[in-house]
Structure 1
Amino acid sequence: MIIGASSGIESETTRVLALRGARVIMGVRNMAAGRDVRDAMELDLSSLASVRKFASDLNSTGLPLNLLINNAGVMVMPCTLSTDKVELQFATNHLGHFLLTNLLLDHMRKTAGESRKEGRIINVSSDAHHFTYREGIRFDKLNDEEG
């Protein structure tokens, strides 16, 4: 499972894993970007409802889950709130991945027990944190439309 696999490094990761025989399910915000892929599922990490639906749909497939690569993200967005009224970048890059990982943990544990292979969770990041406010995350402003 690769989250945000429609372009960039995640697209190449998907290609290489598929070439090595892995069945890869892509979580993509824009289904048009995943139209040429056999197993793409819609996922908007900025929406907690979308994350819950994606996890529920995936958990109900019965497919094994050995690897979760959390790679989707947005950067340098204008101050916008998500549908859950949280700053969009924080909702997408942090809360969405956190919720998704937690909703898939039991599925991954079950797969590990059945396959006797330990599951892996990979969180891809960047050095974009260098472009933040000097005082760090403004937790008091996360739900403020003024930013």
Structure 2
Amino acid sequence: MAEKLNFDDGIKEYEVNGRELLRFNPSDPNVYNRFCELYEELSKLEESYEAELKRLEAETTDDDVESSGKALKLMHDIDAKVKARLSYVFGEGNDFDRIMGGVNLMAIGKNGERIVTNLLAALQPIIEDGIRQHQSDAAAEAVAAAKLNREQRRAKK
């Protein structure tokens, strides 16, 4: 039987809209960097999505089931791509299809914004606070190390 190794990894749990849990370490610089990458990537994905959707709408007639199917596939594909990117950002253990209750992230919320936009807006202050905490802790560690180094130099004299 394997022995257990437990330590504080900084993981916090956030209940998303009263449903599933999102787990990640908000002070992890890797999460912060990936989150910033996603923000940049998302605007390009949305532009591409909008352009392709307009192209499909221009081709669609009232009874064009094939074009409607293509539009639905496009919506599904972009949703899957964004959810995969979110899992990359916050950790592969976070299944965003489950966390979001199967909702397509390109859907529009009551406030007129895309669901993914609302999600990222809700997460942004958590991540920003986490990275500030990381920077504060790193600065405090550097100061403590400098003080110790100074004390050790003085002790040698």
Decide: shared fold, TM above 0.5. Answer: no
Give the TM-score, by structure 2 length: 0.29
Structure in which a larger fraction of residues adopt strand: 1
Which of the pair is proportionally richer in helix?
A: 2
For normalisation by structure 1, the TM-score amounts to: 0.31
